[in-house]
Amino acid sequence: MHFLARLVRGIDRLNDVIGRAVSWLTLAMVLTTFFVVVARYGFAWGRVWIQETYVWMHGAVFMLAAAYTLLHDGHVRVDVFYRPASERFKAWVNLVGVFCLLLPTVLVVLYYSIPYVQASWSRFEMSREAGGLRGLFLFKTIIPIFCVLMALQGLSLAGRSILVLRRFPGFTVDSRPIAEIKG
């Protein structure tokens, strides 16, 4: 159980660091969008590549921060039964959800994204727009990275649920330490 606890904490730490780092893209995205609007409507100047930049940043934030959002229980959940339930019930719901819904979905997306990304890399795909960004193949690489991060966070959630069911000290279905939850 100690190995599982270390693994859960390590995955949580990884996704927390990635999520916090990626969150800075939202500031860059807002500033880029502001620049595009001012340049276009204030100075009648615009470039396709700069418009694509904030669209790609938006996609990167969604894909790379999804596991961070799962870590912090930020995804939409129907809380009619879950919220008032006991820790053990929540742990069972999370276990079933991870193994019956999350992991199969992520693995299917990963399976179908690999050839898609490989094809993009094989021709160093770029934007179809004239004057667009050149590294579309790099952007598409975020899809399998998303799958790996989500799968890891799903496994962490399952591990956390097992630790809760085994009454391992210091773990709840919530990713925050017990001291933070009580305080």
Convert the pLDDT of each residue in 98-153 to its tens digit. Answer: 999 999 999 999 999 999 999 999 999 998 888 888 999 999 999 999 999 999 99
pLDDT value of position 150: 97
Q: Of 112 and 181, which is predicted with more confidence?
A: 112
Using pLDDT thresholds of 50, 70 and 90, give the confidence band for residue 173: confident
pLDDT value of position 176: 58
pLDDT value of position 80: 77
Looking at residues 48-73, what average pLDDT do you find? 93
pLDDT value of position 182: 44
pLDDT value of position 183: 42
Q: Can you tell me the distance from the alpha carbon of 19 to that of 26, in angstroms, rounded to the nearest whole number?
A: 11
Q: Can you tell me the distance from the alpha carbon of 60 to that of 25, in angstroms, rounded to the nearest whole number?
A: 8
pLDDT value of position 21: 96
Q: Give percent helix, percent strand, percent coil of the chain, each to the nearest 5.
A: 75, 0, 25
Q: Is the pLDDT of residue 70 over 70?
A: yes
Phi, psi of 74 (to 5 degrees): -100, -5
Q: Can you tell me the distance from the alpha carbon of 95 to that of 87, in angstroms, rounded to the nearest whole number?
A: 12
Q: Is the pLDDT of residue 34 over 80?
A: yes
Residues contacting 179, CB < 8 A, separation 6+: none
Q: Can you tell me the distance from the alpha carbon of 21 to that of 67, in angstroms, rounded to the nearest whole number?
A: 13
